[in-house]
Structure 1
């Protein structure tokens, strides 16, 4: 009998957590949800080809032609912020 109350209490606690998490973003539909971190914030230059679905040579060619791509350099390593970089890639400015 005591174990039944434990599982009921655990279910109510989980229910409250998920409802509370949803209510935090009720008036902010662009808010962060539970599984919103599917993509990393920063991508190393050597891993960029994976996210663009291009070959390493194509990515190197793209970055050589467009040195103004959004990037961050930390301790000699070049990182590309995921959201700004994807917005830049899909914009028409790189096709001109």
Structure 2
């Protein structure tokens, strides 16, 4: 009986901890969403770049503002980034800083 109680507490602690980790970013994917396969669109809105590169919104916004040379597309006054091109640009920046 105590084994099941211990396992239950451990599992609950894991899920509570995972929820607290995303407290400031509630729109972040939860544990189950990581296992779902989805076709991701090739274009990312400027406001969603932080999810693609795995940084807080403020850092992604600063990156975009400080680097106007990042290849982007403007459609109906909205700025979009190609996943492929953004990935290549980030890789080039990493090589440049090495």
Q: TM-score, normalised by structure 2?
A: 0.54
Indicate the residue corresponding to 1:91 in structure 2.
92
**Relative to structure 1, is the Cα distance of residues 55 and 68 closer, same or farther in structure 2, using a 3 angstrom cutoff?**
same
Q: Distance in 2 between matches of 1:94 and 1:75?
A: 33
Indicate the residue corresponding to 1:3 in structure 2.
none
Instruction: Quote the offset at 1:39 in angstroms.
Output: 3.4
- May I ask how many residue pairs the two structures share in their alignment? 60
Q: Distance in 1 between matches of 2:49 and 2:70?
A: 12
Runs of 5+ unmatched residues, structure 1: 1-36
Runs of 5+ unmatched residues, structure 2: 1-37
**Relative to structure 1, is the Cα distance of residues 46 and 94 closer, same or farther in structure 2, using a 3 angstrom cutoff?**
farther
Instruction: Quote the offset at 1:94 in angstroms.
Output: 6.2
Q: CA RMSD in A?
A: 2.0
Q: Deviations over 1:49-87 (max 9, x none)?
A: 001000011101111111000100000000001101110
Indicate the residue corresponding to 1:13 in structure 2.
none
Indicate the residue corresponding to 1:65 in structure 2.
66
Indicate the residue corresponding to 1:47 in structure 2.
48
**Relative to structure 1, is the Cα distance of residues 94 and 65 closer, same or farther in structure 2, using a 3 angstrom cutoff?**
farther
Larger radius of gyration: 1
Q: TM-score, normalised by structure 1?
A: 0.55
